[in-house]
Amino acid sequence: MPEEESVPVLVVVKSPKAGPLAHLGVDLPTMIPIGESHNPSRALFKIRTDRVVAGRSPECDVLLDHITVSRNHFAIRKAPEGYFISDLGSTCGTIVNDKEARSEVLLKNGDNIKAGKFTLLFTWK
């Protein structure tokens, strides 16, 4: 059986709402709930396209539904050098490893991303 190719993922490790993450939109095809299917405790978003947008808008690839998150909060784009994150003019900013991302930041495995009250982990799965 061939091994599936490793892909970058965003794992929601901290959410503003305690308990289930149903507010993340578990029906999104890019999201895989971790934990009970009807009551996930974490969520994993696979990055399968050259650009993904995270935010509160239902049109976002990564839906983070909370008032502290801008409608289009940040984007991650694939480049020959790796994956870059950039803030999209969000109200609260995008924080990577406790530093504000004022311009594009090259993401590394294990980087922590904060958007509003959410903390996400950039890693490979």
Distances from the Cα of 62 to the Cα of 43, 57, 58, 83, 120, angstroms: 10, 9, 9, 16, 11
The structure's pTM equals 0.79
The dihedral through the CA atoms of 65, 71, 74, 79 has a sign that is positive
> For the chain, which ranges sit under pLDDT 50?
1-2, 18-41
| Cross-sheet strand order for the sheet of 82-87 | 62-63, 51-55, 74-79, 82-87, 105-106
Residue 107 CB contacts under 8 Å (≥ 6 apart), including other chains = 8, 76, 82, 83, 84, 85, 96, 113, 122
